[in-house]
Chains A and B, each alone.
Chain A
């Protein structure tokens, strides 16, 4: 990416500017050699950060602000973060150590001691400051690392605040640039006042720099001076009431996911829970068998299943409430800021112009309740989202739930040209013969299923004579499966041919697909990177083609604009038209 700040970060300069590590004066001279040669030349005296005016005088700049420390509780939070990152080995180590065996204690030592050392080193070596309109972060004991991020490149300062953070009044700050997946710097943790101060400093500098012509943004042909509008008053775009979250929880399969994770953990540590398991389940089943009749047992079984289902839904609701309580989407100038969370509060910012792709998802239950969720994609937003809570909220759960009839209004707030009237779009269905083609494919697959049935019947007939030939008696399964699957295949084929729809609008391209979960995605001409048409030999026979549109984002929205089984003549025409439109709509700065 041309706007990657890593390109513009001169490592030697920033190293010069970084203050030496004043807190560890008894560092042997040779230790820092590997990374610190330059700064040793320049600043041979060990200057404590508090005596920093001297440094400012030495470098000949305006009086520079002192390099700042993280909040002292960082030590604890750093440790917690590491333990959470490696939760499984950590828990294992704790359990085994708690059982008192020497191996366990050794294992725990191996895991925890380095982590504690790393945390301590990090706390005592990490310094940051804003100098020369750059955020400078230095870190490291043996291998000093200094990064300088120009304030004009900083997209936002995101916050993550969990319960413990909130009790102490601190938060984790993430400095994000356009570079993509990982935050440019994570400051774990800072006091809220300090973060507010940092934010103000960065944004005021960003504005000042945006006014200068050399900042680069103003060169783009239809440059949107996004950085100059920070001072605009925030307007609330959306607030999600608790009722919606409850309904979203009911509709989602989150509970299922959570319970399976819990079950996974349970089996991982089943030794630790052995006692519980023996006592609970075996005793309970034993008691049931002895004291109850068959019908009562069936009833209990059904009730258990029902209770489990209710539990799943409750877990889903709980997850949504925890995650998105107090959700607020605010528009500040050209930035969208999301803040939400019951215990762990997250605040994330998305610059509007970086939105590549908007995706509206509706699963079956959400459709019953007239709800939808909106995901967005920004450039480079794919990848390790699970480790990055702010990115996850900002993209995958951009708007976790809202009533369908409010979708158009929200989309128009995102982009003024996005007049969303799903019904009024010029929808193109798949090629007329796509249904026939899919159905024929389903029938061919069904033939294989019927083979399965035939095998089952043969086995059933000759079971007594030729046990060895078919290895056991699985014929009831094969017959049921063989009879069940073909109708499903056929229904799937029919639904699939009807569910996919494509439309071109004034601003971009819309694609809808999905049978149970409907996904409708929009991308914009200036965000399209490449266009592609593919035709297999079968496609040629059926006079069809696949049209794919590539953007800089593919990930959290879980939907690609790649439309199969379109009419070949239509695709040819559309390809030319899209080509023209894409070339005409020059990309804007982002």
Chain B
């Protein structure tokens, strides 16, 4: 992280959109496939009345909608997700319709994890989870950072909180 980036709100890595989109589309295609197969099996086993046809169409439409949403949503969500790290701590803003703004002061960080899914690993994207001693927001997640950035953020957050007993 460059020094001048400190304290400025920034987006997560744009590759995150792509990764999320691919993951979402794989899910949507799998869902659509299962629905299609079920539809065909039921249709050829003799359930061909107009009621069933409508049900088949509805199920397929649902899969199609899922496909569209999974394709579009990561881009929209990306536009509304920001984070910044300044001397006070980590602050995250997210949410398209329901907007959330969470701030974790540095000294309150108990520990932080960096994790990666298989797809994320391909593209060097990671998810940072910051744990506090709190109860309602005991863990705060920031998904879509580059792996190296996530590691650095984690080190920065943990290094300072380390010597202090937090509760």
Contact = CB atoms under 8 A, between A and B. Distances in A.
Interface string B98-116: 1111111111101000000
Interface stretch (B54-62, B68-76, B128-136): B128-136
Contacts of A528: 105, 108
Contacts of A588: 165
Contacts of A356: 167
Interface core residue of A537, A550, A560, A590 (most chain B CB under 10 Å) = A550
B164 to A, nearest CB: 6
A558 interface: no
Given A220-B164, A529-B133, A583 B106 contact: yes
A336 interface: no
A587 interface: yes
B87 interface: yes
B150 to A, nearest CB: 19
B108 to A, nearest CB: 5
A221 B132 CA distance: 19
B163 interface: yes
Nearest to A589: B165
A554 interface: yes
Contacts of B166: 1-2, 529, 552, 587
A583 B89 contact: yes
A47 interface: no
A533 interface: yes
Nearest to B90: A530
A583 B167 contact: no
A379 B132 CA distance: 12
Given A220-B165, A552-B135, A579-B91, A587 B99 contact: no
Contacts of B152: none
Interface in A564-586: 575, 579-580, 582-583, 586
B132 A536 contact: no
Nearest to B89: A583
A529 B103 CA distance: 9
A219 B164 CA distance: 8
A532 B101 contact: yes
Contacts of A553: 135
B106 to A, nearest CB: 7
Contact of B98 (A178, A537, A575, A590): A537
B15 interface: no
A535 interface: yes
Interface bin, chain B:
20 to 34
B123 to A, nearest CB: 29
A540 interface: yes
Contacts of A590: 165, 167
B88 interface: yes
Interface in A376-391: 379-380, 382
A531 B103 contact: yes
Given A219-B163, A587-B166, A530 B107 contact: no
B135 A587 contact: no
A354 B167 CA distance: 7
B88 to A, nearest CB: 4
A227 interface: no
A548 interface: yes
A362 interface: no
B89 A579 contact: yes
B140 interface: yes
A551 interface: yes
B6 interface: no
A379 B137 CA distance: 14
Given A536-B98, A580-B88, A583-B89, A575 B103 contact: yes
A534 interface: yes
B95 to A, nearest CB: 8
Contacts of A354: 167
B38 to A, nearest CB: 36
A579 B167 contact: no
A530 B137 contact: yes
Contacts of B107: 583, 586-587
A537 B97 contact: yes
A370 interface: no
A554 B136 CA distance: 8
A534 to B, nearest CB: 5
Given A531-B102, A586-B107, A552 B134 contact: yes
A2 B165 contact: yes
Leading 7 A-B pairs by shortest Cβ distance: A529-B134, A583-B88, A550-B134, A554-B135, A379-B167, A533-B101, A552-B133
Interface of A: 1-3, 178, 217, 219-221, 354, 356, 379-380, 382, 528-537, 540, 548, 550-555, 560, 575, 579-580, 582-583, 586-590
Interface of B: 87-89, 91, 95, 97-108, 110, 132-138, 140, 163-167
Given A530-B137, A560-B136, 14 more contacts: A2-B110, A379-B167, A528-B108, A529-B137, A530-B134, A533-B102, A536-B97, A550-B136, A553-B135, A582-B105, A583-B87, A583-B107, A587-B107, A587-B164
